[in-house]
A and B are shown apart, each in its own frame.
Chain A
Amino acid sequence: MTENSTELSQLIICPKCDALATKPTLLAGQKAMCGRCQAKLFEHKANSIDRTLAVALAGLVFVIPAMTLPLMGVGMLGLFNQASLVDCIAVLIANDFYVVAICLFLFTIAIPIVRLVTAFYIAYRIKRGRVKPHLLRFFCSYHTLDHWVMLNVFLLGMVVSMYKLLSMSQLTIGFGFSSFVLLLLCSTLVSVTLDQHAIWETLEESREHKYG
């Protein structure tokens, strides 16, 4: 590697305002903020790989129950009906609301799963010391999908729906609901524990090692 690129690796640029600074060395738990716009530059997270591995795996366990078990049900005059997340999408498709169905599928099922799987796979490979350059491409998708996870919005939607239904019928809450809350918790914790900065550096080192 040339001298020039070593110099570059000691610099850091704020993604929000383009201010340039020399990269500080952080202790575990510390974070670096931009001096001009106060945006977070990067963070040194303690024990990131182990924690991510654990939380992502837990999240993946809750995926299937959260999607397929009934979230809530209503009863009235002896009739009863309940629905899961997958049922919601199926009903929307049956009623020709394709746009809403696709968005619901992407924001509450597909994108959260892809993020959990990516986080788990990367953490597993790094933990086992089997880092391959193709993981670089793989990890790119994680960052791009950041804004499009809407599990928290869907949870608030469920709470609002419950208030709507309370007044008109008997309401039951299913196991799907508790699984969904746990899934949301794991998905949020993955964003907290995953140290993107450290992962990129590990991936880069592995490639330099391979291609010299």
Chain B
Amino acid sequence: MSISTAKQLGLGLCPKCHKVNKMHSAKQCCSRCHSSFHQRKPNSLKLTMAWTVTAIIFLFPANLLPMMVINTLGDRDASTILGGIDYFINDGVYPVAIIVFVASFLIPLAKIAGLILLMMSVKKGSKLTVAQRARLFHFIEFLGPWSMLDVFVVALMVAVVNLGFITSIEAGTGSTYFTLMVIFTMLAAQSFDPRLLWDVPEDEQ
């Protein structure tokens, strides 16, 4: 059964209120909520690319600079993201070590790699079926906020562990870069228009 798309019939969907609109021009106002929209997000691939590249640049300081600095009796101990995971492994709390490793190291990398793959596939096609790529995008969107985990841990530790000279924790410069990196990957995923994946002839899907 062939499925007709809204684009073929000159219709467009308002991204805010999901109202079906007849497209009169490239950019128009939604007849229900008056927000302006396009049939496809304009410059979707360029914007996604720009945010992804920015995220890749920030990935390096985020992982190389210390996330937090632990002061114990005058001793300063700075740890990066991977260093913090090492701490959990030494303590033997493997489930927590795995959660932190996945959320703050694997997910950002997987998100960036996945977005690059999706962008390439829109330009050049891919071995994966469109349905598989659509699921991949859905997964990337869902993972988005979970990378913020480590930032929240740092924010909590800094405020809670504050016992003067005995022990205190400071945030490290890496946390700022890490926060920005996570936000850039989320913006990249939001700029990508998944409908572009389906805009190919049906036999190629």
Contacts and interface: CB of A to CB of B under 8 A. Distances in A.
A196 B16 CA distance: 10
A4 B22 contact: yes
Contacts of A76: 163, 166-167
A100 B155 contact: yes
A107 interface: yes
Given A100-B171, A147-B186, A88 B22 contact: no
A125 B103 CA distance: 40
A166 B13 CA distance: 51
A104 to B, nearest CB: 5
A200 interface: yes
A197 to B, nearest CB: 7
Given A95-B171, A99-B176, A200-B17, A165 B153 contact: no
Interface string A78-108: 0101110001111110010101100110011
Interface residues of B, number: 70
Contacts of B80: none
A181 interface: no
Interface in B1-46: 3-7, 9, 11-13, 15-22, 31-35
B160 A73 contact: yes
Nearest to B93: A163
Interface string A146-164: 0111101110111011011
Most B CB contacts (10 A, CB to CB) among A18, A42, A139, A169 go to A18
B160 to A, nearest CB: 5
Interface stretch (A9-17, A47-55, A185-193): A9-17
Contacts, number: 204
A92 B171 contact: yes
A16 B195 contact: yes
A69 B12 CA distance: 47
B134 A99 contact: no
B5 A19 contact: yes
Contacts of A148: 145, 186
B166 A79 contact: yes
A37 B35 CA distance: 26
Given A91-B159, A164-B157, A168-B167, A153 B32 contact: no
A20 B6 CA distance: 5
A8 interface: yes
A17 B22 contact: no
A100 B32 contact: no
Interface string B154-197: 11111111111011001100011001100100100010001101
A87 B157 CA distance: 11
B149 interface: yes
Interface in A1-58: 4-5, 8-9, 11-13, 15-20, 35-39, 42
Interface of B: 3-7, 9, 11-13, 15-22, 31-35, 87-88, 91, 93, 96, 99-100, 103, 131, 134, 138, 141, 144-146, 148-164, 166-167, 170-171, 175-176, 179-180, 183, 186, 190, 194-195, 197-199
8 contacts: A18-B7, A36-B131, A38-B131, A79-B163, A81-B161, A87-B159, A154-B152, A163-B96
Given A37-B131, A99-B179, A140-B33, 7 more contacts: A8-B11, A13-B18, A19-B4, A79-B164, A95-B171, A136-B33, A200-B33
